[in-house]
A and B are shown apart, each in its own frame.
Chain A
Amino acid sequence: MSGLLTGLSVALQPINLLFCFAGVFLGTLVGVLPGIGPVTAMALLLPITIGAPPESGIILLAGIYYGSMYGGSTTSILINVPGEAASVVTCLDGHQMARNGRAGPALAIAAIGSFIAGTFAVVAMSIVSAPLARAALMLAPADYVGLMVLGLVMVSFISSGSVANAILTASLGIVLGLAGIDTMSGVSRFTFDRPELLEGIDVITLVVGLFGISEVLQNLEHSVQRRLVTDTIGRVMPSREDWRRSRGPIARGSLLGFLLGLLPGGGAVLASFASYGLEKRWSKTPEQFGKGAVEGLAGPESANNAAATAAFIPLLTLGIPPNVVLGILLGALIIQGIQPGPLLMVNNPGVFWGVVASMYIGNLMLLVLNLPLVGLWIQLLRVPYGVLFPMILVFCVIGVYGTTGSTFQLGLMTAFGILGYLLRRTGYDLAPLILGFVLGPLLEANLRRTLIASDGDWSYLLTRPVGLACLLLALALIIAAALPAIKARRETFGPADQG
């Protein structure tokens, strides 16, 4: 606790309050603007932070990161364009709520769920960070294989449309994810001798194309002179009923997100998908999922925020960044002459606890910043679609070009837009494709690593407790799906439209 007091004394200094506010404000902004994400924003502000004191610089950059998690949900809900892979799930029910004229409550629930989950994760972080990070390291490649398999099986349950269709799109996602130079053998896969594809397909290009462009194309089926949502938006504050239904998902999502967020790789993505699957299984009215169920929004939104915060733990306590964004933060720390790692708490208590404490304050600021401003974002929906969609197209272009600087990637984005439109049009859900894309390469790498280490012995996969438990759970889900009774039940409610 004394550590946290030290932290508060750092974080409450006026300069740090200012940096914290600037960070979360910019984060919300880049989160809201589709395409441009926290990676770009942080990388561009990195040079500015060099001149500032270390803790102030890190507070600013961290604020951009978790601030963007709040803002990212806004575009997912309002225009069905996820800013990054983790907010794909938010589109499923969040955007449906907006279509049903409940954009206000959707945005409010997302903001409040994010706040609760973010705060929970910060508290948990200040209590148990170091031992937890060590425990997460003990997971062997074989355990990851189990986790990834479970994640992929789960996705066929959460998607709308038939299970067969979900498996088709997930498989396509996995194959797309494997494109590029194979790190294990050096073979170029699906690159067609294009140097642009050597590092694989860029996730931003894929997400922006599949969701952003294809959404525009789908909306163009109708006349564009209408508005996305008529003037009856409803009130912003969620009803008592919404609250009651969101409580459980927020609590479960926070915990799930926190634990999965510790994992390197697809932590936040896996967390949001897992939370959605969990809520859909848990719910007494699963048929509402995909049609604007508030549970399907509250759970994943909380999960991805908790995961985003939990991801700081391996970085600050071990010096191991679990994703690209935190990799940039690692660079920022080193430039400041601070080595994140086991010694950070001892050598630079002001920095460690200052950043943690600033995250408490930042979450509070975000709530204040987001809730009153929710009304402002809703104004966007009143703009006629004919004016809105050219802007969306331009944002998509800026997002992809801004990170890759390549017109080839823009062409790829357009191609994915057409693919996404055709898939939606013929009754396929795109969410499994994204999860397959993110988890496929991780599954392959961990499976092959396991086999190299065990000299090709597949039974080694069954010797690790966590991995085994995940595999068994996945098997149980498959059996449950195959049982005729359940299958019949699924078919009556399962397939829903896609947004």
Chain B
Amino acid sequence: MAIELISKVLWFVVGLVIVWLAIGMGVGRLDEPGAGMMSVGFGGVIALLGLGGIVHLLIKRRPVQSENPGQPQEPWTRAMLWRIGGVLVLLVVYVALLERVGFVLLTAALMSVLFGAYAGIRWVWAIPLATGLAVANYALFKLALGTQLPAGILG
């Protein structure tokens, strides 16, 4: 219920922001649509459906499940959020450092941490496995297929 309501409120806000930004692009006339017209229209649809959802939820007080009976989601637990948040933080750090440090080193580091901390592989195995996979990926993609990957400090 709470999550459902929050999501509808977010949709409503997103819709309004889109409409506001799109009006700034020039809406034009109906016979000569401007750059913002479609976005105003669909932003408006998002805002209205969000608003409708809020009203619907507040009046009918339907539980979440009736909206989505297929797969009852288990509620977020602290452990779950730690796992997901941890990977996201690692990914953001990885992306930020990729061009400076280079693909092979950074990928080996990322995978070592993930193998060690998440998969519960002993560090003695996790680090060589991660390094091997990073080098193998580099060899396959950059050297064999010619994909561009940053070399970083090793280059």
The dominant DSSP class at the A interface is helix
A30 CA to B29 CA, complexed, in Å: 46
B33 to chain A: which residues have CB within 8 Å? 447-448, 451
| Contacts A160-B70, A386-B118 given; does A401 touch B148 at CB 8 Å | yes
Complex contact A174–B4 (CB within 8 A): no
| Contacts A189-B39, A407-B96, A426-B4 given; does A386 touch B121 at CB 8 Å | yes
Complex contact A456–B99 (CB within 8 A): no
Complex contact A497–B71 (CB within 8 A): yes
A477 CA to B84 CA, complexed, in Å: 40
The dominant DSSP class at the B interface is helix
Q: Give how many B residues have a beta carbon under 8 Å from the other chain's beta carbons.
A: 69
Does B26 interact with chain A (Cβ within 8 Å)? yes
- Chain B, Cβ-Cβ closest to A421: B84
- Chain B, Cβ-Cβ closest to A216: B87
Q: Which of the four size classes fits the interface of chain A?
A: 35 or more
B69 to chain A: which residues have CB within 8 Å? 495
Complex contact A220–B83 (CB within 8 A): yes
- Chain B, Cβ-Cβ closest to A384: B119
A54 to chain B: which residues have CB within 8 Å? none
8 A Cβ contacts from B17-41 to A? 18, 21-22, 25-26, 29-36, 38-39
A162 to chain B: which residues have CB within 8 Å? 67
- Would you give the shortest CB distance from B15 to chain A, in whole angstroms? 8
Scan A377-420; emit 1 where CB is below 8 A from any B CB, else 0.
00000001111011101100110011001010011001001100
How many contacts A-B (CB < 8 Å)?
181
A30 CA to B115 CA, complexed, in Å: 25
A463 CA to B32 CA, complexed, in Å: 19
Does B42 interact with chain A (Cβ within 8 Å)? yes
A182 CA to B36 CA, complexed, in Å: 9
Scan B65-96; emit 1 where CB is below 8 A from any A CB, else 0.
00111110110000010011001100110111
Most-contacted residue by chain A among B35, B92, B149 (CB, 10 A) = B35
- Would you give the shortest CB distance from B121 to chain A, in whole angstroms? 7
- Would you give the shortest CB distance from B153 to chain A, in whole angstroms? 16
- Would you give the shortest CB distance from A29 to chain B, in whole angstroms? 8
Most-contacted residue by chain A among B14, B120, B147 (CB, 10 A) = B147
Does B146 interact with chain A (Cβ within 8 Å)? yes
A171 CA to B53 CA, complexed, in Å: 15
A272 CA to B29 CA, complexed, in Å: 35
B21 to chain A: which residues have CB within 8 Å? 190
Does A135 interact with chain B (Cβ within 8 Å)? no
| Contacts A189-B25, A410-B98 given; does A426 touch B70 at CB 8 Å | no
Complex contact A407–B99 (CB within 8 A): yes
Does A487 interact with chain B (Cβ within 8 Å)? no
B39 to chain A: which residues have CB within 8 Å? 175, 178, 189-190
Interface residues, chain B, CB within 8 Å of chain A?
Answer: 3-4, 7, 11, 14, 18, 21-22, 25-26, 29-36, 38-39, 42-43, 45-46, 49-50, 52-53, 64, 67-71, 73-74, 80, 83-84, 87-88, 91-92, 94-96, 98-99, 107, 110-111, 114-115, 118-121, 129-130, 133-134, 137, 141, 145-150
28 contacts between A and B (CB under 8 A): A30-B145, A41-B145, A161-B68, A171-B46, A172-B14, A172-B42, A175-B42, A182-B35, A184-B35, A187-B34, A217-B88, A221-B80, A390-B110, A390-B114, A390-B119, A393-B87, A393-B91, A397-B98, A410-B98, A411-B95, A414-B91, A447-B33, A451-B31, A452-B32, A456-B30, A456-B31, A495-B69, A497-B70
